[in-house]
Amino acid sequence: MSIHTIQVFKRFERIWHWGQMALIFTLMFSGFIIYGAFHLISFSDAVTLHTWAAMVLLVLWLFAIFWLFTTGQWRHYLPTGENLGKVIRFYAIGIFKGEHHPYRKTYRRKHNPLQALTYMLVKLVIFPAIWLSGIAYLLISFGLGGFLAGIGLDLIALIHTSAAIAIVVFVIAHLYLLTVGDSFVGHVKPMVTGYDKVELTDEELAYLKTDEPWILKEDK
SS3 at position 109: coil
Q: CA distances (Å), 42 to each of 114, 170, 177, 219, in order?
A: 40, 27, 34, 52
> For residue range 167-216, what is the model confidence (pLDDT) as tens digits?
999 999 888 888 776 666 777 888 999 998 888 888 888 888 888 888 88
pLDDT(64) > 70: yes
Categorize the per-residue pLDDT at 220 as very low, low, confident or very high, splitting at 50, 70 and 90.
low
Mean pLDDT of 95-122: 83
pLDDT(143) > 80: no
CATH number at residue 24: 1.20.950.20
Q: How many domains does the chain have?
A: 1
Please say whether the dihedral angle defined by the alpha carbons of residues 171, 176, 181 and 184, taken in this order, is positive or negative. positive
Please say whether the dihedral angle defined by the alpha carbons of residues 2, 91, 17 and 113, taken in this order, is positive or negative. positive
Count Cα neighbours of 64 within 13 Å in the Cβ-side half-sphere: 16
SS3 at position 219: coil
Mean pLDDT of the chain: 86
Count Cα neighbours of 188 within 13 Å in the Cβ-side half-sphere: 11
Please state, for a pLDDT cut of 90, what percent of the chain lies above it: 35
> For residue range 65-89, what is the model confidence (pLDDT) as tens digits?
999 999 888 888 887 777 788 888 8
Categorize the per-residue pLDDT at 37 as very low, low, confident or very high, splitting at 50, 70 and 90.
confident
Categorize the per-residue pLDDT at 137 as very low, low, confident or very high, splitting at 50, 70 and 90.
confident
What is the value of pTM for the model shown?
Answer: 0.84
**Residues of the domain holding 174:** 2-217
* pLDDT value, residue 49: 95
For 19-49, b where at least 16 C-beta lie within 10 A, e where not — what string? eeeebbebbbbbbbbeeeeeeeeeeeebeeb
CB-CB neighbours of 110 under 10 Å: 19
